[in-house]
Amino acid sequence: MSIKDFYDAVGGSYDEIMRRLLSEERVKKYLGKFLNDKSFEQMTEEIAQKKWEDAFRDAHNLKGISVNLGLQSLFESSSELCESMRNGEPSVDIQPMYDRVKTDYETVVSSIGQL
């Protein structure tokens, strides 16, 4: 899979990421590091344990890194989830939001695996 195909698969703009990060090699390197990031796993656990403050922070981290790497779908779903936890315990059922994040995250991870 090429970098361009990758961005088509995860719903991001190849041109935009190239404008900001300048080289495919660098983009690929950063995406490789994304696999080492534990924000998603930690967030999953924290939500299960209702540690809302920690879950908010990890969702925020996930949102930050995905926007910076141009992972548009994951950025959008994690932003929504993050905002729902900004003031502590969410007032709505967050399961659908979480599921979207999970789907987007898994798409990103498997696509990086095909690079």
Partner 1 sequence: MRSKVMVVDDMPINCDILEEILEDEYEVIIAGGGREALEVLTQKHDEIGALLLDLMMPEVDGFAVLEFMKKNGWMDKVPVIIISGENTVEAERRCFDMGVSDFIQKPFDNSLVRRRVSNVADLFSYKNKLEERVAKQTEILRKQAAKLQKSNTELIDILATVVEGRNMESGLHVKRVKGFTRILAMRLLKDFPEYGLTEAQVEVIAAASALHDVGKIAIPDHILLKPGKLTDEEFACMKTHTTRGSEILSEIKGVWDESYSKMSYEICRHHHERYDGRGYPDGLAGEDIPLSAQIVGVADVYDALVTERCYKKPFSTEEAFNMITGGKCGTFSPKLMEAFTRARSDFEELARSRE
> Which residues sit at the interface with partner 1, rule CB under 8 A?
19-22, 26, 30, 33-34, 36-37, 39, 54, 57, 60-61, 63-65, 67-70
Least distance CB 63 / partner 1 (angstroms) = 5
CB proximity list for 7: less than 8 A, separation 6 or greater: 13, 14, 17, 70
Distance CA 70, CA 12 (A): 6
Nearer to partner 1, 27 or 97 (CB): 27
Nearer to partner 1, 93 or 109 (CB): 109
Nearer to partner 1, 37 or 76 (CB): 37
Least distance CB 29 / partner 1 (angstroms) = 8
Length of the chain: 115
Nearer to partner 1, 69 or 97 (CB): 69
Least distance CB 53 / partner 1 (angstroms) = 9
Distance CA 111, CA 17 (A): 16
Residue 101 CA to chain centroid, in angstroms? 7
Q: What is the DSSP letter of 114?
A: T
